[in-house]
Structure 1
Amino acid sequence: MQDGVRRTVLPSGLRIVTETIPTTRSASVGVWVNVGSRDETATMSGASHFLEHLLFKGTEKRTALDISAEIEAVGGETNAFTTKEYTCYYARVLDADLPLAVDVLCDAVASSILDPADVETERGVILEEIAMHEDEPGDEVHDVFTEAIFGPATPLGRLISGTEATISPMTRTQINGFYRRRYTAPRIVIAAAGNLEHSTVVKLVRKALAGTPLTATEAAPEKRRPAGKIKTLPAQTIVRNRETEQAHLVLGGIGIGRLDERRFALGVLNNVLGGGMSSRLFQEIREKRGLAYSVYSYDTQYADAGTLGVYAGCAPGKVDEVLDLTRTELAAVAAKGVTAEELARGKGMVKGAYVLGLEDTGSRMSRIAKSEMLYDDLMSVDELLARVDAVTLDEVNQIAAELLGQPMSLAMVGPL
């Protein structure tokens, strides 16, 4: 553990990690649950996201209005999000209001009643959210790309939100069963960062959870999600025809898992390819030819798999040219690698983005929570920067040859 970071494991198996930052006047706290959309069956697709909506709708102690009003009355903010592998409920408040934030979040996560009327209300909200997402082709194309890599019937290939076909028939009993089976203390990490004392946070959590199902039994913390063998599909092209002004495309392939030691080299490579205005793809496609306003590369990493893709949005008539340029650039990097100058610039971008991203208590809270839940290890900022500095040109070029030399899948959404 680095300076300022402390960890406590309660008898229930629930973990509490904090980072003390005495120079701030705020605090951020999050309840992180090691459950996401990949933990759902096909018929329960979207249950984690549905539950995320419902947990803010009321408990035995608070109505939905109470939950939002209590935090907003002190100038704070609260929200939640669901991913394929975990769900997070968080709040950011003034340091003096941390006890309130801890109590509200713990109450919502441990003691929600899932009122049947609220289930129906949120079902409508989620169906509208799904429809809105389908009206955003620049977002939809990333889901289509993920589907092309993993397959639409697999846990990683399905939508986090679920679909109308799975959300519409999902019952309150099914959602409550998922809630009580999955939201157990060994799967939960409560993280806080800001002007706080670790011992105080532990006392606040103990008090807030007293008498709830999260303190009912003793257990050991759940180990991080194991890395299995994920099957991926052969390279393919998927086109979704939409009457849009732009065509949106993602070209890419299989990446690496989050525990792969090559992740630092991949981070550097990603920045060289399409991580900024000086990147190869941005320079070739936007700066030199003006073919697209938005073009970038990105990678996603899960416990046991990942993807690496290039996104571009362009006029439908320019799709072929954009694709040709993208394929040419990726093939060139796969065959010849990157230069020493690009390596240095890529390292600088990775380090700068990482450090600048830790300038607020929310990002610091997220860092320690993910380190505890996903990695079982918390590197200091200096250790992480040293790992980036240690990346060699050979390491970047090796992973470039492997990932960029493979057959590529293509996802396209637009009037094609």
Structure 2
Amino acid sequence: MPGVPLPLTRGTSTVAGEAEGALVRRTVLPGGVRVLTEHDPAVRSATLGCWVGVGSRDEAPGFLGATHFLEHLLFKGTARRSALDIAVAFDAVGGEANAVTGKEHTCYYARVLDEDLPLAADVITDMVTSATLSAEDVDSERGVILEELAMNDDDPADVVHEKVAEAVLGDHPLGRPIGGTAETIAAIDAAHVLGHWRQHYTPDMLVFTAAGSVDHDALCELLQRELERSGTVLDPSADPAGRRHATAVAAGTHGAGRHVVVRRATEQANVVIGTTAFTATDERRYALSVLNAVLGGGMSSRLFQEVREKRGLAYSVYSFASNYSDSGYFGLYAGCTPGKTDQVIEPMTAEPRAAGRARSRRRRAWREASGSLRGGLVLGMEDTGSRMTRLGKAELVYGEYVSLDDALGRIGSVTAADVQQVAADLAGRPRSLAVVGPFDEDRTFRL
């Protein structure tokens, strides 16, 4: 079930559906700007996103957090709009606007009525191409970001996830926190932010995706007009920037079973066990998603049943997977009374090993997990924001568009043997442990 390739060449193509009334269409505008839309005539809203292929992994040493800093600053104003003007523009039409910085990309998005899509395109394009980025705004927003970092540091669940990523990924840039640190944020000035913006926010790096009640051709004309209005040079011969490739990670970059304990005066211990996993384009990711559902994806998962239902050791327990262009990791989380930490760690290490051993009763669990994933995928596509995000990842991450039916087919084709093989692979890799709670930092726990 191959997906539809998304070539880095100019032109318009129908990605899914027939030429007339196509569900998904794609155009590469002059300058290498990419536009993807999914038309849904059943809704009266639309979500528009502007993606930039830059994330926290792309930052210069000593200036970690610059990508997230820049995301904040684009809402501070442009040559045509103040920060208040930007906020009022969306509030006045009942719209929602926000942004998210990831480790490999950044996205600015808005959800509005279909009749207000031109407004959203105007404001977001203006923000991305014409931000003021003044020294005064940098200094004032620095305080806001430091408060955000402090807020995250007060949440032990956020801290433990940051620490396990650092432990598993080691010196790899993906192991760094997205927001940077108080020290690196203090070092960032207006000149550095401006340089970061000029380097990465170029037309060939921009991807616009929209889903809902949207006309593809009209949106392309609108975006090109807004880009030209901003003074952006759209070279008609330019192709889009290349995608990240799944290159081999240098030996010694990843952690080799690290243990991290962070002391916090909390009522619970927050525990994550993690290991390296697969890249975002690895075909084993479908089997991993089924394994994730089996181990910690819901109330019937093995971890939930063993840790919470049978033993009563934790309220929150789950598993998760994070996949990137050239790396990834898999983890299991639980929050428990500090005195029960060792008791919780035991099934968290035993269940992944057991999943790698073939037993007929587990085959039924794998079939149920596959059904859960398929249902969750369909239900998750019921809102235009999820569909907009899916288009962005198809363009920036996968380089292909996989229809919903094909995605369901890929999940459904995962066999028990596939899941066992993935489980055995992960179980044989070095495991890292991160614990946040009322423990001395030299405290050891046995995996």
TM-score class, shorter = over 0.9
Q: Do the aligned partners of 2:54 and 2:67 also contact (CA within 8 Å) in 1? A: yes
Unaligned runs of 5+ in 2: 1-14, 18-22, 440-447
Q: Given the alignment of the two structures, is residue 312 of structure 1 paired with residue 334 of structure 2, yes or no?
A: yes
1:84-106 Cα deviation digits (max 9, x unpaired)? 00000000000100000000000
1:264-293 Cα deviation digits (max 9, x unpaired)? 111000000000000000000001111101
**What amino acid is the match of 1:391?**
V
Task: Give the structure 2 partner of residue 2 of structure 1.
Answer: 16
Task: Give the structure 2 partner of residue 334 of structure 1.
Answer: 356
Residue 214 and residue 249 in structure 1: after superposition, are their counterparts in 2 closer, same or farther (change >3 A)?
Answer: farther
Query: Cα distance, 1:154 vs. partner?
Result: 3.5
Task: Give the structure 2 partner of residue 264 of structure 1.
Answer: 286
1:101-125 Cα deviation digits (max 9, x unpaired)? 0000000001001121111111000
In 1, the alpha carbon distance for the partners of 2:28 and 2:233 equals 12
**What amino acid is the match of 1:170?**
I
SS of aligned partner of 1:168: helix
Q: TM-score, normalized by length of structure 2? A: 0.91
Query: Cα distance, 1:212 vs. partner?
Result: 3.5
In 1, the alpha carbon distance for the partners of 2:81 and 2:281 equals 40
- Mapping of residues 248-263 of structure 1, within 5 Å: 248-263=270-285
SS of aligned partner of 1:292: coil
Task: Give the structure 2 partner of residue 324 of structure 1.
Answer: 346
Task: Give the structure 1 partner of residue 106 of structure 2.
Answer: 87
Task: Give the structure 2 partner of residue 283 of structure 1.
Answer: 305
In 2, the alpha carbon distance for the partners of 1:44 and 1:225 equals 22
Task: Give the structure 2 partner of residue 410 of structure 1.
Answer: 433
1:29-76 Cα deviation digits (max 9, x unpaired)? 000000000001221210100000000100011000000101110000
Return the match for 2:203 from 182, 185, 194: 185
Q: Given the alignment of the two structures, is residue 303 of structure 1 paired with residue 325 of structure 2, yes or no?
A: yes
In 2, the alpha carbon distance for the partners of 1:75 and 1:175 equals 31
Query: Cα distance, 1:368 vs. partner?
Result: 1.0
Task: Give the structure 2 partner of residue 195 of structure 1.
Answer: 213
Return the match for 1:221 from 235, 240, 264: 240
**What amino acid is the match of 2:52?**
V
Q: Do the aligned partners of 2:356 and 2:419 also contact (CA within 8 Å) in 1? A: no
Task: Give the structure 1 partner of residue 407 of structure 2.
Answer: 384
SS of aligned partner of 1:174: helix
- Mapping of residues 17-416 of structure 1, within 5 Å: 17-151=36-170, 153-212=171-230, 214-218=232-236, 219-230=238-249, 231-336=253-358, 339-416=362-439
In 1, the alpha carbon distance for the partners of 2:388 and 2:142 equals 31
How many residues get paired? 415
Measured on the aligned residues, the alpha-carbon RMSD in Å equals 1.2
Unaligned runs of 5+ in 1: none
Query: Cα distance, 1:335 vs. partner?
Result: 3.6
In 2, the alpha carbon distance for the partners of 1:42 and 1:351 equals 41
**What amino acid is the match of 1:190?**
F
In 2, the alpha carbon distance for the partners of 1:368 and 1:162 equals 28
1:193-219 Cα deviation digits (max 9, x unpaired)? 111110110011011111445434342
Q: Do the aligned partners of 2:271 and 2:433 also contact (CA within 8 Å) in 1? A: yes
**What amino acid is the match of 1:217?**
D
In 1, the alpha carbon distance for the partners of 2:379 and 2:233 equals 38
In 2, the alpha carbon distance for the partners of 1:213 and 1:88 equals 21
SS of aligned partner of 1:217: coil
Query: Cα distance, 1:187 vs. partner?
Result: 1.2
SS of aligned partner of 1:31: strand
Q: Do the aligned partners of 1:334 and 1:405 also contact (CA within 8 Å) in 2? A: no
In 2, the alpha carbon distance for the partners of 1:336 and 1:383 equals 28
Q: Percent of aligned positions with the same letter in both sequences?
A: 50
Q: Do the aligned partners of 1:333 and 1:404 also contact (CA within 8 Å) in 2? A: no
SS of aligned partner of 1:410: strand
